Amino acid sequence: MPHRQPEHTRAYYNEFAKRYEAERRPNQPDGYHALVDDLEVELVERYGRGKDVLEVGCGTGLLLERFAKFASSAKGIDLSPGMLHLATARGLDAREASATAIPFDDHSFDVVCSFKVLAHVPDIGLALREMARVTKPGGVLLAEFYNPLSVRALGKKFGPAGAISDKTTEDHVFTRFDAPWVVRRLLPPSVTFETARGIRVFTPVAAAMKVPVVRDVLRWAERRAADSPLAFFGGFYVAVLRKRL
């Protein structure tokens, strides 16, 4: 990893923190981000209800706050102090740390999850090994990747870079796209691949979720596709991994 990468990424997300929640709950309860968040939270709850959960890259705590409602314990780490300021203001147990150096002992959590973070980590193999290290034997890792085989990837490739602030766009941060078959090759030997959830299979652009009838159809379709073979084409491909006993 280039030496400047963590500081560059930290600065990017500190800037992003200023408007990160502008189009997220509670401001857009039925919008695009709400749908994506719901599908992620539901997956964590499937494996993490009544268990100890760690979110790697918790951001402002929007998901972590929801995890805390069903988990026995919910902790988070994030690289960005700007993001963490909002998370801790919610009363959440979150601390500053990198995905490649998780500050917890081996076998600490039943479920370790990471959403929209691994795609911005150059040394993704190290991040996955760290996530596996702090997972209990028999526990679950939920690792989300950006999928090049998706309508979302096409939009990112051919469309303009989205703005995260008045002076910064999404192309100012390292971003990787890993196809589902590549994901298998990135996994550490301590985990096995169980299944995957595909998020944003059909939605062409986020703005489509602002159109009432279209929004309802897309929400129905995305839920039906998430755990089907169509998960292979999800813009966000969440690998469900089991830590070996």
List, for residues 181-219, the tens digit of each pLDDT value: 999 999 999 999 999 999 999 999 999 999 999 999 999
SS3 of 105, please?
coil
% of the chain with per-residue pLDDT over 90: 79
Contacts of 231 (CB under 8 A, 6+ apart): 196, 197, 198, 201, 225, 237
Are 116 and 132 in contact by the 8 Å Cβ rule? The answer is no
CATH code linked to domain 5-243:
3.40.50.150
Report d(CA 245, CA 235) in Å as an integer: 31
The pLDDT of residue 21 is: 80
Q: Are 34 and 199 in contact (CB under 8 A)?
A: no
C-alpha span between 83 and 64 (Å, rounded): 12
Residue 211 phi, psi dihedral angles, 5° rounding: -95, 115
Find out whether 174 and 207 touch, Cβ atoms under 8 Å. no
Residue 39 has pLDDT above 80, yes or no: yes
Among 2-16, 85-99, 158-172, 207-221, the minimum mean pLDDT is found in 2-16
Q: 136 Cβ partners below 8 Å, 6+ apart?
A: 107, 108, 109, 110, 243
Tokens of 192: 């096995």
- What percent of the chain is predicted at pLDDT more than 70? 98
**Could you tell me the pLDDT band of residue 1, with boundaries at 50, 70 and 90?**
very low
Predicted confidence at residue 164, as pLDDT, reads: 72
- C-alpha dist (Å) from residue 32 to 118, 171, 216, 218: 21, 21, 11, 10
Q: Name the region of 93 (left: φ>0; alpha: ψ -120 to 50; beta: rest).
A: beta
Q: 151 by DSSP, 3-state: which?
A: helix
Convert 205-233 to b/e letters by CB count within 10 Å (16 or more is b). ebeebeeeeebeebbeebeebbbeeebbb
**Per-residue pLDDT, 239:** 98
Q: Which residue has the tokens 């026995």?
A: 72
pLDDT at res. 144: 98
Compute the distance between CA of residue 176 and CA of residue 145 in angstroms, rounded to an integer: 8
171 or 41: which leads in pLDDT = 41
Which residues, at least 6 apart from 43, have a Cβ–Cβ distance to it below 8 Å? 113, 142, 197, 238, 240
Provide the token pair at 135.
Answer: 């997972």
Q: How confident is the model at residue 5 (pLDDT cuts 50, 70, 90)?
A: low
State the average pLDDT for the chain.
Answer: 93
Model pLDDT for residues 12-32, shown as the tens digit of each residue: 887 887 888 887 867 777 899
Residue 4 pLDDT greater than 70, yes or no: no
**Contact assessment for residue 85 and residue 114, using Cβ atoms and an 8 Å cutoff:** no
What's the average model confidence in pLDDT over 59-74? 97
Residue 67: per-residue pLDDT = 98
Q: What are phi and psi of 55, to 5 degrees?
A: -105, 120
Q: Give the span between the Cα atoms of 55 and 183, in whole angstroms.
A: 20
Q: Which pLDDT belongs to residue 198? A: 98
pLDDT higher than 50, residue 3: no
Q: So what's the pLDDT on residue 25? A: 67
